[in-house]
Structure 1
Amino acid sequence: MFGRLTSRLCETGSLNPRPRHRPRTRTDERAEVAVLATIAVNPQISTRQIEREVGVSKSSAQRILKRHKFHPYHVHLHQDLHGNDFRNRVTFCRWAQQKLLTNPNFFADVLFTDEASFSNKGIANMRNMHYWSADNPKWLCQVGHQRPWKVYVWCGIIGDTIIGPFFINGIQNGRQYSRFVRQNLPVLLDTVPLNRRMVTWYQYDGCPAHSTLRARRLLNRKFRGRWIGRGGPVRWPARYPDLTPLDYFLWGAVNDAVNQHEPTTPEDMKQHIIDACTAIKEETVARSRASFIRRVTLCMQASGHHFEHGM
Structure 2
Amino acid sequence: MELDISERSVRRILKNDLGLHSYKKKVVEPLLSDDQKIKREKFANWIRTNFRKEESMRILFSDEKFFDIDGVYNSQNDRVWAIDRADADKNGVIKQKRKFPQKVMVWLSACSKVVTPLVILDEGTVDHAVYIEKVLPVALKYGNQVFGSDWVFQQDGAKPHSHHLTQQWCRDNFPSFIIKDRWPPNSPDLSPLDYSIWDELVNTINWNKVQSETTLIQQIKSSFKTFVNQLFLKVVLALPIDCIVFVKTMETICANKNNPVL
SS of equivalent residue, structure 1 residue 156: strand
User: Does structure 2 retain, via aligned residues, the 8 Å contact 1:113–1:155?
Assistant: yes
One-letter amino acid of the structure 2 residue matched with residue 257 of structure 1: T
Displacement of 1:195 in angstroms is 6.4
Specify whether residues 229 and 253 from structure 1 end up closer, same or farther in structure 2 by C-alpha distance, changes over 3 A only. Answer: farther
How far, CA to CA, are the matches of 1:97 and 1:149 in structure 2?
A: 42
Specify whether residues 68 and 154 from structure 1 end up closer, same or farther in structure 2 by C-alpha distance, changes over 3 A only. Answer: same
Specify whether residues 69 and 161 from structure 1 end up closer, same or farther in structure 2 by C-alpha distance, changes over 3 A only. Answer: farther
Displacement of 1:246 in angstroms is 1.1
Task: Please name the residue that 2:60 is paired with.
Answer: 111
- Aligned counterpart for 1:297 among listed residues 235, 244, 248: 248
User: Does structure 2 retain, via aligned residues, the 8 Å contact 1:157–1:246?
Assistant: yes
Matches within 5 A, 1:79-228: 79-100=30-51, 103-123=52-72, 145=98, 148-168=101-121, 169-181=123-135, 183-187=137-141, 189=142, 194=145, 196-224=147-175, 226-228=176-178
Task: Please name the residue that 1:284 is paired with.
Answer: 235
User: Does structure 1 retain, via aligned residues, the 8 Å contact 2:209–2:215?
Assistant: no
User: Does structure 1 retain, via aligned residues, the 8 Å contact 2:64–2:107?
Assistant: yes
How far, CA to CA, are the matches of 2:173 and 2:154 in structure 1?
A: 13
SS of equivalent residue, structure 1 residue 84: helix
User: Does structure 2 retain, via aligned residues, the 8 Å contact 1:114–1:155?
Assistant: yes
Displacement of 1:155 in angstroms is 0.3
How far, CA to CA, are the matches of 2:79 and 2:23 in structure 1?
A: 25
What are the superposed Cα offsets for residues 193-223 of structure 1, whole Å, 9 maximum, x if unpaired? 6461311211101111111121111110112
- Aligned counterpart for 1:243 among listed residues 170, 176, 190: 190
Displacement of 1:74 in angstroms is 4.8
Task: Please name the residue that 2:180 is paired with.
Answer: 230
Specify whether residues 90 and 186 from structure 1 end up closer, same or farther in structure 2 by C-alpha distance, changes over 3 A only. Answer: closer
Task: Please name the residue that 1:253 is paired with.
Answer: 200
Displacement of 1:266 in angstroms is 2.3
SS of equivalent residue, structure 2 residue 251: helix
How far, CA to CA, are the matches of 2:145 and 2:252 in structure 1?
A: 37
The TM-score with structure 2 as length reference comes to 0.72
How far, CA to CA, are the matches of 1:257 and 1:296 in structure 2?
A: 28
Displacement of 1:271 in angstroms is 3.0
Moved more, 156-165 or 294-303: 294-303
Consecutive unaligned residues of structure 1, counting only runs of 5 or more, are 1-49, 129-142, 306-311
Consecutive unaligned residues of structure 2, counting only runs of 5 or more, are 81-95, 257-262
| Larger Rg, first or second structure (1 or 2) | 1
> Which structure exhibits the higher relative contact order, with contacts defined as CA atoms closer than 8 Å and separated by 6 or more residues?
2
One-letter amino acid of the structure 2 residue matched with residue 166 of structure 1: V
Specify whether residues 54 and 164 from structure 1 end up closer, same or farther in structure 2 by C-alpha distance, changes over 3 A only. Answer: same
Q: Give the paired residue count.
A: 229
What are the superposed Cα offsets for residues 68-125 of structure 1, whole Å, 9 maximum, x if unpaired? 585746523422211421111111111212234xx32212211110111101122568
SS of equivalent residue, structure 2 residue 104: strand
- Aligned counterpart for 2:9 among listed residues 54, 76, 79: 54
Specify whether residues 149 and 92 from structure 1 end up closer, same or farther in structure 2 by C-alpha distance, changes over 3 A only. Answer: same
Task: Please name the residue that 2:210 is paired with.
Answer: 263
How far, CA to CA, are the matches of 1:283 and 1:177 in structure 2?
A: 29
Specify whether residues 145 and 304 from structure 1 end up closer, same or farther in structure 2 by C-alpha distance, changes over 3 A only. Answer: same
Moved more, 67-76 or 147-156: 67-76
Superposed CA RMSD: 3.3
One-letter amino acid of the structure 1 residue matched with residue 177 of structure 2: W
SS of equivalent residue, structure 2 residue 109: strand
User: Does structure 1 retain, via aligned residues, the 8 Å contact 2:112–2:238?
Assistant: no
How far, CA to CA, are the matches of 1:251 and 1:51 in structure 2?
A: 46
